[in-house]
Structure 1
């Protein structure tokens, strides 16, 4: 039996996982990104730069990438974000080992496991010739609502 559009759109398919972080004194709830949120996050890590031969290339900006994802994915028990996007620099100062552990969970819940990341990097050889600006979205400090109809948080 095939699903209807209503059945698909009403399915609660964004997963969460509680992760013990004894160094912080308890568990942290990690929520996977929606498709819109994931696309915005990935775009925020890319910059299109001109090459000397006139073509363009996509450069991945990895600065604080783990914390930039985690501010979007760490929630309270009600599903509300704990951090604003502007909190990423402060969160990035926490233990790299802990951030890496939480990042791995967030990436997996968001469909961005190691294999998916390699696929994205493999598709970044050159930007389309008609695009002359960065694909990074504007900054936002507003936490996104935890709903399928909410707009993606930007970083």
Structure 2
């Protein structure tokens, strides 16, 4: 028998996991994203720019605040209510990168964000060639950081 609209909407299908965070003195509940939250998160970390050949657009992953942007949507209290609002990204992002990375991995898994999906968002989903070189049109990174990225003089947004 097929599910009804009401039975689908009533289903509790968002997974949660309790994660011990000794650095914060207790446990944190991580919840997977809803479909709408996933769309908002992906939209917040992906932009498009003109491709290097000038003939189209290519996705660019905006990594600034990426961990905190996911976690503000996924950290919940005992009642399943979000602990943080989207406006708390900078404050949460100021916490330990080790803790945020550990929680991010759980949130990513519970939300169905696989490594392949992350690569697709980054625009790196092309298959490598025989020599192991990516066929991605992404530019190569330079060996040394530019002065503005290493001395803190880059303009703030």
- Taking structure 2 as the reference length, what is the TM-score of the superposition? 0.72
TM-superposed CA distance for 1:116, in Å, is 3.0
Ranges in structure 2 where 5+ consecutive residues have no aligned partner: 127-135, 138-157
Determine the structure 1 residue equivalent to 2:144.
none
Ranges in structure 1 where 5+ consecutive residues have no aligned partner: 127-155
**More relative contact order in 1 or in 2 (CA 8 Å, sep 6+)?**
1
TM-superposed CA distance for 1:54, in Å, is 4.3
TM-superposed CA distance for 1:13, in Å, is 0.2
- Does the 8 A contact of 1:68 with 1:88 survive in 2? yes
Separation (CA, whole Å) in 2 of partners of 1:11 and 1:49:
39
**Larger radius of gyration between Structure 1 and Structure 2:** 2
Task: Please provide the CA RMSD for this pair.
Answer: 2.0
Separation (CA, whole Å) in 1 of partners of 2:38 and 2:29:
18
Separation (CA, whole Å) in 2 of partners of 1:59 and 1:120:
8
Determine the structure 2 residue equivalent to 1:12.
12
Determine the structure 2 residue equivalent to 1:112.
113
Separation (CA, whole Å) in 1 of partners of 2:30 and 2:41:
16
Determine the structure 2 residue equivalent to 1:145.
none
Closer, same or farther: CA 109–12 of 1 in aligned 2, 3 Å: same
Moved more, 45-54 or 86-95: 45-54
Determine the structure 2 residue equivalent to 1:24.
24
Alignment of 1:36-75 (within 5 A): 36-51=36-51, 53-75=54-76
Separation (CA, whole Å) in 2 of partners of 1:23 and 1:58:
36
Determine the structure 2 residue equivalent to 1:137.
none
- Does the 8 A contact of 2:59 with 2:121 survive in 1? no
- Taking structure 1 as the reference length, what is the TM-score of the superposition? 0.73
Number of corresponding residues = 125
Moved more, 65-74 or 4-13: 4-13
Closer, same or farther: CA 51–115 of 1 in aligned 2, 3 Å: closer
SS, match of residue 68 in structure 1: helix
SS, match of residue 8 in structure 2: helix
TM-superposed CA distance for 1:97, in Å, is 0.9
